[in-house]
């Protein structure tokens, strides 16, 4: 039954990984200085859920990868 080990060709995998790296570039870790909440967003414009605009933004690509 399972005679195909992978559904993806190498080219498809490459595209998929490129898409992931692009997604990482758009991910911004947000940290609220008022309520200490953290969340990930694709925008650095959004205020915190608590209404505070004192939010610091750390792009995820600054973190070392594993």
Residue ranges that bind Zn ion, judged by CB under 5 A:
32, 34-35, 37, 48, 50, 52
Q: In the bound complex, what is the minimum distance in angstroms from residue 33's beta carbon to Zn ion?
A: 8
Torsional sign, CA 15, 17, 23, 24:
negative
7 or 43: whose CB is closer to Zn ion?
Answer: 43
Q: What is the Cβ-side half-sphere exposure of residue 63, based on CA atoms within 13 angstroms?
A: 12
- Partnered with residue 10 across adjacent β-strands are none
40 or 50: whose CB is closer to Zn ion?
Answer: 50
Q: How far apart are the first and last CA of the chain?
A: 35
24 or 38: whose CB is closer to Zn ion?
Answer: 38
Q: In the bound complex, what is the minimum distance in angstroms from residue 32's beta carbon to Zn ion?
A: 3
């Amino acid at each position: 039954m399972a005679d195909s080990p992978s559904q993806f060709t190498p080219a498809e995998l490459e595209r998929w990984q490129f898409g992931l790296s692009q997604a990482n570039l758009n991910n911004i870790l947000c940290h609220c200085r008022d309520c200490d909440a953290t969340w990930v967003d694709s925008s650095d414009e959004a205020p915190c859920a608590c209404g505070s605009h004192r939010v610091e933004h750390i792009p995820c690509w600054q973190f070392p990868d594993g």
